């Protein structure tokens, strides 16, 4: 077949053209064997740029196209569509990555960058020459979604998907849905009560006919691929038969053991058998085995004796639930940066230095102080309260480098609510910058300074320590250049948001990428912000990066709409870049079967050969490298193609 | 100064994305390597590596996901085993084993791409151009199957 | 067990008591502090210029001497420890300066003979710089040290003062896990049976050598430290630095003049306290130089 390849070199404004001599690249490649047409353009991905590709395919009867621009993760799909629009099989369109892998990383040497760009493009020309015309592989799809995490993001995603008519399995590791939002007092910038807007959604998610709610459950294992995941869920032993339990609460009332309450952030206690909070959904207790007298000594057993419906079962074991789903939304949320790491602020040893979540509980009407701000050490109403932003955040040397985004706003809210609570009190906020990006946020901050007299001091606090029943705050006001010393009654730390402690472990089970700090990575920071790079996984809420409630909800709905778009087709169309076996050459040694991670290869004992099931093959290529007779090849990435690409890259 | 030619086989899930990140972060590194994108580092056959040396590469860099992070479960373990077997083989052929490098680089490690690239280029630069007496030894040998264009069969 | 020991100038002059007590304690614990046969001043302040090597030569020379005797060198004074440890890091990590320094070492006529006789190779940071307290923890072991204790210091309320030079900069010193909340001296005191007084000023500056330039500022610093320990009912303060001791102890004379109702508190070296616990004779634990005599406070707990 005569090759007629079209090469389209993108300037990407000055992103590429500022470093790579695009004219020279296009001219030089016009003479490369098999190239029928070569040109350059300011923005290939723009409408005129795409039309240029479409027109050239027809005008020059192109058999393949190499768009030399950005990473294939960005615009491969764009140009494949453009090719298809001109009746060129989409798999005959390839991207040569001369931006991320060349112009952006070799700005210092334009000559070498230009040479490298030419080499990169040559490799892709060689690849395209041997690309087959392929069609996507259609496989059946399970129209049911899994949502991991029952905070506000997970709840929203589950409701949106379910309301669009698809079944949802919602898995939450703690005994109740609600997440951190259930702990909050009032929310900025409107000051509506967090529980009032959240609890109806919690109830809805538990009663929705299309949602299977699995609380006190964890993801044990995930296998399969987009459209056809198999999920094993560990249902942790609650030692309470929650189907039988009627939620009367007698066992909780009579349990003699008390431990620090996680929901109250250690400011109050709960029982060993407990529901985390009054509005918990489901409102049925679980038994905390590690703190139970019965499990420690075999004595007690009061909860079992008193239960009117015999729901307490000490013999209960972890159970496993198998679910098949087509898409997975990950919404595992955040934790606060551990306060023990902040030695200069006492590392958690000073009682009247509280975390931001603890202060939420002190403000909450359902909290341990009934909504009156009282400090933990002696229950007195604090008259001088100091709020610290960026505790751990924006400190690359010692803690985390990023901005946690929500602390400026919630500390402003804290200071404001404190002032509403304690009229004669004084609130101070030490800040690095006050970041109020968001609708109504700046106005909210102005209100705090003007109407509530919150005093903002620009500077870091170097040390907190106890002295005479006060918390001494040593800080600096960098605007006046003065050292500031405050004898505070209470200090609130705006600790950095970090990924939920389970996030990294879960990412390994799901095989999806996390970024440097453990937040899940999106496929593209701007254009694909709610998808993971691994197909079939979608991200929602603070699991992807620090976020406030509106952003988390928006991202959850976006994830849900992506899931619905996936489910809008009956079948899932997969990339046909799979392996195939030349039946004439196969000796039937079965080495390939042993290395295939997906059991995609079956053995035809009649013919004595192996055969790949395209619907299951993921295209990893393990079998190809293992095949001793080079009988297996990968579609559109054959050994022959790889050899030619290597040669092209090394040609002078 | 000697500018080594480097062939990089990067898996598309981790290292290729890591190199993309190095780009979006505008990190700067040596321009000697050309990256070929493969689905998995486990796709790389020893013959690909030998072919690269034969065609004039001074070094071959393979980038895969960290152990336990392979998108295809355990493809990178296959790579690890192959590379450890390859090294003495290369030595026997008169190719310094340090000309073959395997690194685990995740999608979040743009910095590591830069570091590994720069360090590997320096390592190979110190080794000097690959002495291709080797071609004499290989010239009698047949090119590996597939080195010539074959029509794909279905 | 012999360990190379770098005393530094002050321990041979103003702080002879510190040197003496430390050697005696080491003996009891089965460690012989083997003083470097030749040593010079460490330089006293770690230089922050990165384009010059002259200021670190003295420290490197001492480290090079130590490398002949072993793989460690122990020191006591916080300034010496700070300078030696940071210089060692430069020698381990900064190739350019390492090369230059070694060139100088070889060219230096005064020391060339001495150095070439033992320095077969360049000094590249072969020795580990240990503070005496690190030696107690990592070489001897606090638990083993506790076994040698004759008189447990029960009921004695001791405030451990770290000062700055042991801890900062943390990235280079790596003295304790957390520079803001170090615990090594607390662990040491607990092993001796003391009641540890945790006071917030334990890592604040004593005023350092500002005492010779701006006495007011320096005394304000040291007074804050002293007052903080007194307020928490400490019986005495321990320190590891002769300069800290000078500012905290001897300057209490000035504090008395400045602050009405000032309460004095004895400040001693940590190895002097260790000596008491190990039952070392008073004659080896010389308190004659202290402005505030620790003996009454110790006598109150029947410790002298």
HSE toward the beta carbon, residue B19, CA cutoff 13 A: 38
- Inter-chain contact A347–C179, Cβ cutoff 8 Å? no
Q: Cβ contacts (< 8 Å) between B52 and chain A: which residues?
A: 646, 650
- Tell me, what's the pLDDT at A648? 96
Please judge whether A397 and C178 are an interchain contact, meaning their C-beta atoms are less than 8 angstroms apart: no
Touching partners of C (3+ C-beta pairs < 8 Å): A
Asked whether residue A624 is assigned to any structural domain, the reply reads yes
In this model, does residue A204 exceed pLDDT 90?
yes
Which among A347, A397, A465 has the least Cβ separation from residue C200?
A: A465
Residues B89-125 have pLDDT tens digits of 999 888 999 999 999 999 889 999 999 999 999 999 9
- C-alpha distances (whole Å) from A123 to each of A149, A391, A612, C162 are 44, 49, 28, 63
- Distance from A40 to chain B by nearest Cα, in Å? 21
Match 């310094």 to its residue by tokens: B96
* Gap between the Cα atoms of A609 and C205, Å rounded: 79
| Residue A504 and residue A484 in one domain | no
Mean pLDDT is lowest, of A300-304, B128-132, C46-50, C141-145, for B128-132
Task: State whether A343 and C180 contact (CB < 8 Å).
Answer: yes
- For an interface test with A, the pick among B21, B28, B39, B63 (most A C-beta atoms closer than 10 Å) comes out as B39
**Summary mean pLDDT of chain A:** 95
pLDDT value of residue B136:
55
**Judgement on whether residues A582 and A562 belong to the same structural domain of the protein:** no
Alpha-carbon gap, residue A536 to A514, rounded angstroms: 16
Structural element, H or E, at residue C267: strand C267-269
Given a cut of 60, whether residue B126 has pLDDT beyond it is yes
Distance to chain C for A350, nearest Cα, Å: 11
- pLDDT of the residue at B139: 54
Residue A537 lies in a domain: yes
* Residues of chain A contacting residue C179, judged by C-beta atoms under 8 Å apart: 343
Closest CA of chain C from A344, distance in Å = 5
Residue B34 has pLDDT above 50, yes or no: yes
Question: Among residues A567, A588, A616, which one ends one of the domains?
Answer: A567
Are A589 and A628 within 8 A, CB to CB? yes
pLDDT band with cut points at 50, 70 and 90 for residue C167:
very high
Mutate to test the interface with A, among C200, C220, C224, C233 (most CBs of A within 10 A): C200
Whether residue B140 has pLDDT greater than 60: no
Q: Does C217 touch chain A (CB under 8 A)?
A: no
Closest CA to A169 of A180, A157, A185, A158: A158
CA–CA separation, A140 and A570 (whole Å): 7
- The confidence score (pLDDT) of residue C109 equals 57
Whether residues A463 and C200 touch (CB distance < 8 A) is answered with yes
Residue B143 has pLDDT above 70, yes or no: no
Q: Specify the pLDDT at position A64.
A: 96
pLDDT greater than 50 at residue B83: yes
pLDDT at residue A185 tops 90: yes
Cβ–Cβ below 8 Å for B17 and A513: yes
Looking at the fold, whether A67 and A151 belong to one and the same domain comes out as: no
Q: Do both A347 and A484 map to the same domain? A: yes
Give A525's contacts in chain B (Cβ within 8 Å).
24
**Chains touching A (3+ CB pairs < 8 Å):** B, C
pLDDT grade for A494, boundaries at 50, 70 and 90: very high
Co-location of A410 and A385 in the same domain: yes
What pLDDT shows up at residue B154? 45
Contacts for C281 with CB less than 8 Å, ≥ 6 apart: none
Asked if residue A167 and residue A116 are part of one domain, the reply reads: no
**A346 lies in some domain:** yes
Chain A positions in Cβ-Cβ contact with residue B45 (cut-off 8 Å): 624-625, 639
pLDDT at B147: 59
Domain of residue A606, CATH code? 3.30.70.20
pLDDT given at position B132: 66
**Closest-CA residue in chain C for A468?**
C231
pLDDT at A117: 97
CATH code, A408: 3.50.50.60
Please tell me whether residues A50 and A124 are part of one structural domain: yes
Question: In this structure, what DSSP letter does residue A418 have?
Answer: H
A339 — pLDDT class (breaks 50, 70, 90) = very high
- Same domain? A438 vs A365: yes
Bridging pattern class, strands A5-10 and A64-69? parallel
Q: Return d(Cα B125, Cα A552) in angstroms, integer.
A: 50
Q: Do chains A and B touch (3 or more CB pairs under 8 A)?
A: yes
What contacts 24+ positions apart, CB below 8 Å, involve A590-597? A591/A623, A591/A626, A591/A627, A591/A628, A592/A623, A592/A626, A592/A627, A592/A632, A594/A626, A595/A622, A595/A623, A595/A626, A595/B78, A596/A622, A596/A623, A597/A622, A597/B72, A597/B73, A597/B74, A597/B75
Touching subunits of B (3+ CB pairs, under 8 Å) are A
Residue A241 within any structural domain of the chain: no
Phi-psi region of B87 (alpha: psi -120 to 50; beta: other; left: phi over 0): alpha
Residue A139 lies in a domain: no
Task: Give the Cα separation of A68 and A102 in Å (integer).
Answer: 11
Percent of chain C with pLDDT over 70: 95
Q: Where a domain ends, among A567, A586, A615?
A: A567
The yes-or-no verdict on residue A346 having pLDDT over 50 is yes
Distance between terminal CA atoms of chain A? 26
8 Å CB contact of A343 and C171: no
What is the total count of domains within chain A?
A: 5
First-last CA distance in chain B: 48
**CB-CB neighbors (< 8 A) of A645 in chain B:** 36
Q: Decide if C130 contacts C81 (C-beta within 8 A).
A: no
Chain A residues with beta carbon closer than 8 angstroms to that of B51: 643, 646-647
Task: Please write the tens of the pLDDT for every residue from C86-123.
Answer: 999 999 999 889 989 888 877 765 666 665 555 567 88
Q: What is the pLDDT of residue C108?
A: 65
Which residue in A345, A465, A472 has the most chain C C-beta atoms within 10 A of its own C-beta, making it the best mutation to test that interface? Answer: A465
Interface test with A, best of B20, B118, B147 (most A CBs within 10 A): B20
Q: Could you give the CA distance from residue A97 to residue A104 in angstroms, rounded to a whole number?
A: 11
Q: Is C178 on the interface with A (CB under 8 A)?
A: yes
Confidence of residue B144 (pLDDT cuts 50, 70, 90): low
The model's pLDDT over A354-375, given as tens digits with 9 standing for 90+, comes to 999 999 999 999 999 999 999 9
CA distance C159 to A501: 37
Chain A positions touching C164 (Cβ under 8 A) are none
Q: Where in the sequence is the domain holding A548, given as residue range(s)? A: 144-185+193-235+319-333+500-567
Backbone region of residue A21 per phi and psi (left: phi > 0; alpha: psi in -120 to 50; beta: other values): beta
**Mean pLDDT on B34-51:** 95
pLDDT for position B74: 85
Q: What is the pLDDT of residues A14-62, one digit of tens each?
A: 999 999 999 999 999 999 999 999 999 999 999 999 999 999 999 999 9
C267 vs C49, higher pLDDT: C267
pLDDT of residue C179: 87
Give the one of A99, A620, A647 whose C-beta lies nearest to B43's C-beta: A620
| Separation in Å, CA of B67 to nearest CA in chain A | 10
Q: Which residues from chain C sit within 8 angstroms of residue A397, using beta carbons?
A: 171
- Domains in chain C (CATH in brackets) are 2-130 (1.20.1050.140), 151-300 (3.40.50.11810)
Q: Which of A353, A332, A348, A339 is nearest to A500 (CA)?
A: A332
Assign residue B144 a region (left: φ > 0; alpha: ψ between -120 and 50; beta: otherwise): beta
Chain C environment of A472 (Cβ under 8 Å)? 200
Q: Quick check: ipTM above 0.85?
A: yes
Is A71 in Cβ contact with B22 (below 8 Å)? no
Residues of A in contact with C180 (CB under 8 A): 343-344, 347, 463
Average pLDDT of A432-458? 96
Q: Do C200 and A344 touch (CB under 8 A)?
A: no
Last residue of a domain, one of A472, A498, A524: A498
The residue among B143, B152, B153, B154 with the most chain A CBs within 10 A of its CB, best to mutate, is: B152
For residues A375 and A442, membership in a common domain is answered with yes
Q: Which long-range contacts (CB under 8 A, 24 or more apart) does B81-86 make?
A: B82/A625, B82/B44, B82/B46, B85/B46, B86/B46, B86/B49
Q: Provide the CA B49 distance to its chain's centre, in angstroms.
A: 7
In this structure, are A547 and A582 located in the same domain?
no
Chain A residues near residue C231 by CB distance under 8 angstroms: 467
Least Cα distance to A361 among A264, A472, A276, A231 occurs for A264
Can you tell me the distance from the alpha carbon of A69 to that of A45, in angstroms, rounded to the nearest whole number?
9
Residues in A lying within 8 Å of C, measured between beta carbons: 343-344, 347, 397, 463, 465-467, 472
| Mean pLDDT calculated for residue range C151-155 | 93
Contact assessment for residue A387 and residue A414, using Cβ atoms and an 8 Å cutoff: yes
pLDDT confidence of C148, banded at 50, 70, 90?
A: very high
**In 3D, which of B68, B99, B62, B59 has the Cα closest to residue B82?**
B62
Q: Do chains C and B touch (3 or more CB pairs under 8 A)?
A: no
**pLDDT of the residue at B108:** 87
Same domain as A611, residue A489: no
B36 in helix, strand or coil? strand
Would you call C181 an interface residue with chain A, using a CB distance cutoff of 8 Å? yes
Confirm whether A172 is domain-assigned. Answer: yes
The 3-state secondary structure of C71-124 reads CEEEECCHHHHHHHHHHHHHHHHCHHHHHHHHHHHHHCHHHHHHHHHHCCCCCC
Interface test with A, best of C177, C180, C201, C230 (most A CBs within 10 A): C180
Q: Cβ neighbours of residue C203 under 8 Å, at least 6 residues apart? A: C162, C163, C164, C167, C179, C180, C182
Backbone CA torsion sign across A150, A156, A157, A158: positive
Domain assignment present for A643: no
Residues A596 and A462 reside in one and the same domain: no
To the nearest whole angstrom, how far is the Cα of C205 from the nearest Cα of chain A?
13
Confirm whether A244 is domain-assigned. no
- A267, A376 Cβ separation under 8 angstroms: yes
**Cβ–Cβ gap C181/A472 under 8 Å:** no
């Amino acid at each position: 077949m005569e090759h007629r390849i079209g090469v389209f070199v993108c300037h990407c404004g000055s992103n590429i053209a500022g470093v790579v001599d695009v004219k020279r690249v296009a001219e030089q490649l016009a003479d490369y064997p098999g190239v029928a047409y070569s040109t350059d353009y300011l923005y290939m991905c723009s409408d005129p740029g795409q039309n240029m590709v479409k027109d050239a395919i027809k005008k020059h009867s192109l058999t393949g196209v190499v768009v030399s621009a950005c990473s294939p993760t960005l615009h491969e799909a764009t140009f494949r569509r453009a090719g298809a629009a001109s009746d060129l099989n989409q798999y005959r369109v390839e991207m040569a990555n001369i931006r991320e892998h060349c112009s952006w990383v070799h700005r210092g040497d334009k000559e070498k960058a230009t040479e490298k760009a030419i080499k990169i493009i040559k490799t892709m020309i060689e690849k395209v020459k041997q690309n087959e015309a392929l069609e996507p592989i259609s496989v059946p799809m399970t129209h049911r979604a899994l949502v991991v995490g029952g905070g506000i993001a997970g709840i929203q995603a589950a409701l949106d998907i379910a309301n669009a008519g698809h079944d949802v399995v919602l898995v939450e590791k703690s005994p109740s849905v609600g997440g951190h939002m259930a702990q909050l007092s009032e929310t900025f910038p409107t000051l509506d009560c967090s529980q009032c807007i959240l609890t109806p959604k919690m109830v809805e998610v538990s009663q929705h006919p299309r949602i299977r709610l699995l609380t006190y459950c964890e993801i044990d294992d995930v296998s399969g691929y987009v459209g056809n995941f198999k999920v094993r869920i560990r249902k942790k032993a609650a030692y309470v038969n929650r189907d039988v339990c009627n939620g009367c609460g007698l066992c909780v009332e009579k349990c003699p053991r008390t431990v620090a309450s996680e929901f109250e952030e250690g400011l109050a206690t709960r029982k060993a058998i407990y529901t985390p909070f009054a509005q918990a959904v489901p409102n049925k207790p679980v038994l905390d085995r590690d703190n139970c007298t019965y499990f420690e000594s075999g004595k007690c057993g009061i909860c079992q004796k008193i239960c009117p419906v015999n729901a307490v079962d000490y013999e209960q074991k972890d159970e496993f639930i198998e679910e098949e789903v087509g898409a997975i939304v990950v919404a595992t949320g955040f934790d606060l940066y551990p306060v023990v790491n902040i030695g200069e602020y006492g590392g958690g040893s000073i009682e009247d230095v509280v975390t931001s979540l603890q202060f939420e509980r002190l403000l909450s009407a359902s909290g341990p102080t009934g909504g009156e701000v009282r400090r933990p050490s002696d229950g007195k109403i604090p008259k001088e309260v100091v709020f610290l932003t960026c505790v751990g955040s924006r400190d690359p040397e010692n803690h985390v480098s990023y901005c946690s985004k929500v602390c400026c706003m919630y500390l402003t809210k804290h200071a404001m609510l404190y002032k509403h609570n304690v009229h004669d009190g004084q609130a101070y906020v030490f800040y690095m910058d006050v970041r109020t990006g968001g609708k109504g946020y700046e106005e909210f901050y102005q209100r705090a300074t003007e109407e509530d007299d919150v005093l903002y001091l620009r500077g870091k606090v170097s040390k907190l320590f106890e002295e005479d029943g006060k918390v001494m705050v040593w800080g600096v006001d960098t605007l006046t250049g003065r050292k500031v010393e405050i004898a505070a009654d209470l200090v609130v730390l705006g600790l950095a948001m970090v990924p939920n402690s389970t996030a990294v472990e879960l990412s390994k089970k799901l095989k999806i990428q996390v970024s440097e700090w453990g937040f899940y990575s999106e496929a593209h920071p701007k254009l694909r912000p709610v998808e993971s790079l691994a197909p079939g996984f979608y991200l929602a809420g603070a699991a992807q990066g620090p976020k406030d409630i509106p952003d988390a909800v928006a991202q959850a709905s976006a994830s849900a709409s992506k899931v619905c778009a996936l489910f809008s087709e009956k079948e899932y169309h997969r990339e046909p870049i799979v392996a195939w076996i030349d039946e004439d050459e196969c000796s039937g040694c079965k080495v390939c079967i042993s290395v295939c991670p997906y059991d995609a290869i079956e053995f035809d004992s009649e013919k004595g050969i192996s055969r790949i099931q395209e619907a299951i093959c993921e295209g990893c290529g393990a079998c190809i490298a293992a095949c001793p007779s080079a009988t297996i090849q990968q579609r559109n990435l054959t050994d022959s193609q790889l050899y030619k690409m290597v040669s092209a890259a090394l040609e002078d | 100064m000697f500018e080594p030619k480097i062939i990089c086989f990067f898996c598309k899930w981790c290292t290729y994305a890591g190199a993309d990140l190095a780009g979006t972060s505008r990190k700067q590194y040596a321009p000697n390597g050309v990256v070929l994108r493969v689905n998995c580092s486990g796709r790389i056959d020893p013959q690909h590596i030998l072919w690269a040396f034969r065609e004039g590469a001074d070094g071959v860099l393979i980038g895969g996901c960290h152990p336990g992070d392979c998108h295809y479960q355990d493809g990178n373990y296959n790579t690890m085993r192959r590379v450890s077997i390859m090294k003495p083989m290369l030595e026997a052929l008169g190719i310094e084993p340090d000309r073959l490098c395997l690194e685990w680089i995740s999608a979040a490690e743009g910095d590591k791409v830069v570091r590994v690239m720069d360090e590997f280029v320096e390592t190979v630069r110190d080794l000097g151009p690959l002495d291709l007496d080797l071609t004499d030894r290989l010239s009698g040998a047949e090119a590996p199957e597939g080195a010539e264009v074959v029509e794909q069969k279905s | 067990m012999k360990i190379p020991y770098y005393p530094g100038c002050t321990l041979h002059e103003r702080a002879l008591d510190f040197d003496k007590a430390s050697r005696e304690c080491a003996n009891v614990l089965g460690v012989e502090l083997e003083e470097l046969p030749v040593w010079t001043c460490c330089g006293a302040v770690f230089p922050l210029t990165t384009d010059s090597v002259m200021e670190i030569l003295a420290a490197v020379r001492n480290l090079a001497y130590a490398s002949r005797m072993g793989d460690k060198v122990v020191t006591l004074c916080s300034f010496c420890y700070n300078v030696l440890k940071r210089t060692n890091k430069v020698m381990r990590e900064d190739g350019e300066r390492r090369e230059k320094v070694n060139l100088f070492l070889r060219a230096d006529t005064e020391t060339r003979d001495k150095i070439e006789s033992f320095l077969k190779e360049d000094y590249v940071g072969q020795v580990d710089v240990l503070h005496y307290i690190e030696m107690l923890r990592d070489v001897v072991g606090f638990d083993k040290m506790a076994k040698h204790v004759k008189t447990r210091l029960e009921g004695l309320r001791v405030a451990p003062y770290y000062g700055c030079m042991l801890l900062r900069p943390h990235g280079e010193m790596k003295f304790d896990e957390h520079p803001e909340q170090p615990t090594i001296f607390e662990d040491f005191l607990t092993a001796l049976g003391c009641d540890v007084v945790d006071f917030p000023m334990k890592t604040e500056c004593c005023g350092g050598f500002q005492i010779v330039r701006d006495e007011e500022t320096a005394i304000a610093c040291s007074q804050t430290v002293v007052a903080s320990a007194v307020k928490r009912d400490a019986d005495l303060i321990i320190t590891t630095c002769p300069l800290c001791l000078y500012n905290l102890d001897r300057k209490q004379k000035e504090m008395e003049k400045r602050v009405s109702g000032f309460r004095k508190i004895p400040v001693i070296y940590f190895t002097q306290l260790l000596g008491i616990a190990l039952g070392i004779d008073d004659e080896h634990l010389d308190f004659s130089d202290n402005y505030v005599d620790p003996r009454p406070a110790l006598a109150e707990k029947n410790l002298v």
